[in-house]
Chain A
């Protein structure tokens, strides 16, 4: 492939076109369309005998109608707002404590064992006891989201600070740059690629936990909508909700990746220049 690109001779051109087709996303899109068509056909022509298996087109009609008549939008906003608050709390704590732990040994000794102990707890498992402690309101849901987001961020931040190129520290030292300034202008930007990777991981986790929390607790948001529609046997609405959640998660991730790539463009280019694998 590389050879063909570097040497676009007449003979290699047809080959190039074939492999380009196989390598593009188009093949993946075709599979997605085929699966959706199978869904549609299985419901329409009775491959699947169930009243709970609406055709894809019906689900999409329901989704568009739900968005159009203003039923779904408040649910989306409610879910996103809840997620944003929990995510912000978890990430802020993660970044702050991550830097504190990485930079001050006493903090490391104090906090790391607790973090290691709490990290493996499956998030849904903490919700039942938290109901006793925090009640059935937003406090519980925000706590669960923040709790889940905290760990990837704190661990990535610690790893990021530890990965800072030793020469960077020496550069700050030789110019006599004060420690606080060196933290702000050297250590923080140098560890940013790791920190952002943690924030990206937590973004996905935040969305999952938000929906789970809404399904278990309270009567707000898209998670609750899914469960409600399932109880009411409104399967078309239920699937519409799932598709909407999927679309939101996909867009959030894409937006974050695009922003991240711009924020730490230097890191990718430096690695490319040094010929190190990413």
Chain B
């Protein structure tokens, strides 16, 4: 595990030597328009501002089609905003994402099928770190071990189940040692039990590595269970209507936490809110 523990801590600084303490993720009045079918601009994101502390776990929930993924892609630098800006630490995010990794929803498409699992993981860092073959292999093994797939390096992604593929995608994302992990509904296409398994895994890895996590989801339970704060998005054009602190104690437990009165109260409040908004959206 020696390689893994080199993850930039607050003292040693990040890969660039920039202090991690400064890597607050700030989204400033970001808006995004697309070209509509009639040639006019269609607003997907109205104006969204967020301030995510280093090491925080933020969830963004909203009805489907509200522009959550668009917002996350703008934050990731995979898409440019039409207005406003995204900053990580004291750097503006313009295109090339630095220290941020995007975890895709479609694990079956985001893993490269012509590469073995090990090569997929090494793809995340081999261009950046000039490691020897053995060092790269060791680092890859460490990350695969973290997601419980130490023995699957020589398999191909399509030989694994959906849950295992998403574990590989998680290992690959973390192997890049990002300061910010952006997750686009990464647990939505696995079965319910596998999903709870992956929730526990991501919380475990997050508490070990202390990266900033931003999760986009339409699953209220998932958002409450994982996050420190839950931001609620409105219908298109998306704006943030509410930010709720969960204040649930950590470490969280797959069953007990989900049955605690505090959890249920939050769930009640958020669902009521979202369902009311859904009605409004449907009729308006």
User: Which residues on the B side are within 8 Å of A178 (C-beta)?
Assistant: 127
Tell me the smallest distance from the CB of A177 to a CB of chain B, in Å.
5
User: Which residues on the A side are within 8 Å of B176 (C-beta)?
Assistant: 175
Q: Which of B92-100, B199-207, B242-250, B259-267 contacts A (4 or more CB under 8 A)?
A: B92-100
User: Which residues on the B side are within 8 Å of A92 (C-beta)?
Assistant: none
Chain A CB within 8 A of B152 CB: no
User: Within B76-130, which residues are at the interface with A (CB < 8 Å)?
Assistant: 76, 78, 96-98, 100-102, 104, 106, 108-110, 112-115, 123-125, 127-128
Contact yes or no, B78 A171, CB < 8 A? no
| Residue with the greatest number of chain A CB neighbours at <10 A, chosen from B101, B113, B125, B158 | B113
| Residue with the greatest number of chain B CB neighbours at <10 A, chosen from A175, A177, A269, A273 | A175
| C-alpha gap A52/B76 in the complex (Å) | 76
User: Which residues on the A side are within 8 Å of B76 (C-beta)?
Assistant: 174
Contact yes or no, B127 A170, CB < 8 A? no
A171-B108 contact in complex given A176-B96, A185-B123, A270-B158, C-beta closer than 8 Å: no
A175-B106 contact in complex given A266-B114, A270-B158, A273-B158, C-beta closer than 8 Å: no
User: What is the size category of the interface that chain B forms with chain A?
Assistant: 20 to 34
Return the chain B residue nearest A189 by Cβ.
B114
Q: Which of A174, A176, A186, A264 contacts B112 (CB 8 A)?
A: A186
A167-B110 contact in complex given A175-B101, A176-B96, C-beta closer than 8 Å: yes
Q: Which of A168, A174, A267, A270 contacts B78 (CB 8 A)?
A: A174
User: Within A196-223, which residues are at the interface with B (CB < 8 Å)?
Assistant: none
User: Which residues on the A side are within 8 Å of B113 (C-beta)?
Assistant: 266-267, 269-270
User: Within B39-63, which residues are at the interface with A (CB < 8 Å)?
Assistant: none
A171-B112 contact in complex given A176-B97, A176-B98, A269-B158, C-beta closer than 8 Å: yes
Contact yes or no, B114 A174, CB < 8 A? no
A165-B156 contact in complex given A174-B100, A175-B176, A177-B123, C-beta closer than 8 Å: no
Contact yes or no, B97 A273, CB < 8 A? no
User: Which residues on the A side are within 8 Å of B125 (C-beta)?
Assistant: 175
Contact yes or no, A176 B128, CB < 8 A? yes
User: Which residues on the A side are within 8 Å of B115 (C-beta)?
Assistant: 185
| C-alpha gap A242/B109 in the complex (Å) | 48
User: Which residues on the B side are within 8 Å of A267 (C-beta)?
Assistant: 113-114
Contact yes or no, B109 A175, CB < 8 A? no
| C-alpha gap A181/B123 in the complex (Å) | 10
| C-alpha gap A264/B98 in the complex (Å) | 33
User: Within B144-166, which residues are at the interface with A (CB < 8 Å)?
Assistant: 156, 158
A170-B78 contact in complex given A175-B176, A177-B123, C-beta closer than 8 Å: yes
User: Which residues on the A side are within 8 Å of B102 (C-beta)?
Assistant: 170, 174
Return the chain A residue nearest B172 by Cβ.
A175
| Residue with the greatest number of chain B CB neighbours at <10 A, chosen from A181, A267, A270 | A270
User: Which residues on the A side are within 8 Å of B123 (C-beta)?
Assistant: 171, 175, 177, 185
Tell me the smallest distance from the CB of A26 to a CB of chain B, in Å.
34
User: Which residues on the A side are within 8 Å of B78 (C-beta)?
Assistant: 170, 173-174
Return the chain B residue nearest A175 by Cβ.
B124
Interface residues of A, dominant DSSP: helix
Tell me the smallest distance from the CB of A225 to a CB of chain B, in Å.
43
A167-B106 contact in complex given A185-B123, A267-B113, C-beta closer than 8 Å: yes
| C-alpha gap A189/B176 in the complex (Å) | 22
User: Which residues on the B side are within 8 Å of A273 (C-beta)?
Assistant: 108, 158
A165-B114 contact in complex given A171-B104, A175-B123, A270-B158, C-beta closer than 8 Å: no
Q: Contact string, A150-174, partner B, CB cutoff 8 A, digits 1/0?
A: 0000000000000001011011011
Contact yes or no, B127 A181, CB < 8 A? yes
Tell me the smallest distance from the CB of B181 to a CB of chain A, in Å.
10
Chain B CB within 8 A of A25 CB: no
Return the chain B residue nearest A263 by Cβ.
B114
Tell me the smallest distance from the CB of B270 to a CB of chain A, in Å.
29
Chain B CB within 8 A of A274 CB: yes
Q: Which of B97, B106, B112 contacts A173 (CB 8 A)?
A: B97
User: Which residues on the B side are within 8 Å of A173 (C-beta)?
Assistant: 78, 96-97
| B interface residue numbers (CB < 8 A to A) | 76, 78, 96-98, 100-102, 104, 106, 108-110, 112-115, 123-125, 127-128, 156, 158, 176
26 A-B pairs within 8 Å (CB atoms) are namely: A165-B109, A168-B112, A171-B110, A171-B112, A171-B123, A173-B97, A174-B78, A174-B97, A175-B124, A175-B125, A176-B96, A176-B97, A176-B98, A176-B128, A177-B127, A185-B112, A185-B115, A186-B112, A189-B112, A190-B112, A190-B114, A266-B156, A267-B113, A270-B113, A270-B158, A273-B108
Q: Which 4 A-B pairs have the closest CB atoms?
A: A174-B102, A167-B109, A266-B113, A189-B114
